[in-house]
Amino acid sequence: MRASFGSRLTTAVSLRGPLCVGIDPHPGLITAWGLPDDPGGLERFALTCVEAFAGEIAVLKPQSAFFERHGSKGIAVLERVIAESQQAGAVVLLDVKRGDIGSTMAAYADAYLADGSPLAADAVTLSPYLGVGSLEPAFEAAEKSGRGVFVLALTSNPEASEVQRAVNGGRATAQTVVDLAAERNIGVTPIGGIGVVVGATIKDLGVDLSTLNGPVLAPGFGAQGGTLSDIRTLFGKSLRNVLPATSRGVLQAGPDVFALRSEALRTRDAIVSAAGDH
């Protein structure tokens, strides 16, 4: 039986360091690599990333939308990225940000979290803004299959604050999301499989992560402006469970496999050093 997601993630980070590299086949990056913005170019881009990162980096995060824009051929490439990354030992966090209700949410859970699905990753991102309870089918599927989820809590886009920082019943919405995730992680060791997403570029955290007992994905590190200092200041005592995520900052080193891998490892080592100094 597969070990829990929290256990597998903890092991991967202990062996490979705390870094998540996004595989984001943005059309601008594909063309910057000298590739055509078509399914063939997508495949070369994505599988080059797998070759460069999957054997060394703890977590890879394919952005589903950039594969979906190429239709069925793009989805076929995504399936290969997931399978080949996992075979090389990387934890695959599929960035899909799905969120729905009832049977539709259950169908998303079947697609991304159920054994036997060609799109089943080790974890997915989810949006809770139809109510955290609407994600129940995904929580159940993840627990049953030893997979994880990362629920959007406090993202760094400027439009987010009107919803995520709105106060209801004395708590900000983002805090409610964190607290409901924490309830599901109580007593789980080494950490629970319900994580949250908190942007690395946020200047004022304003939420208490101390009881989460789960992983925190921190996108926006690197090219989007998040720095090592920001991460240390933002997360403080919760830093040990934080997974900084970068994409463009590393992917700009392509298309050479060695250059991509070197940039990813340099970034990872800088994070490890900064965490050790904390």
- Annotated catalytic sites, by residue? 97
Structure tokens, 38 = 């078509």
Place of tokens 């690599």: 33
Query: How far is it, in rounded angstroms, from Cα 261 to Cα 251?
Result: 10
Cα–Cα dist 184/196, whole Å: 12
- In angstroms, the CA 84 to CA 55 distance is 10
- Long-range pairs, 42-47, Cβ under 8 A, ≥24: 42/66, 42/67, 42/70, 42/73, 42/74, 42/77, 43/77, 43/80, 45/254, 45/255, 46/77, 46/78, 46/80, 46/81, 47/77, 47/80, 47/81, 47/84
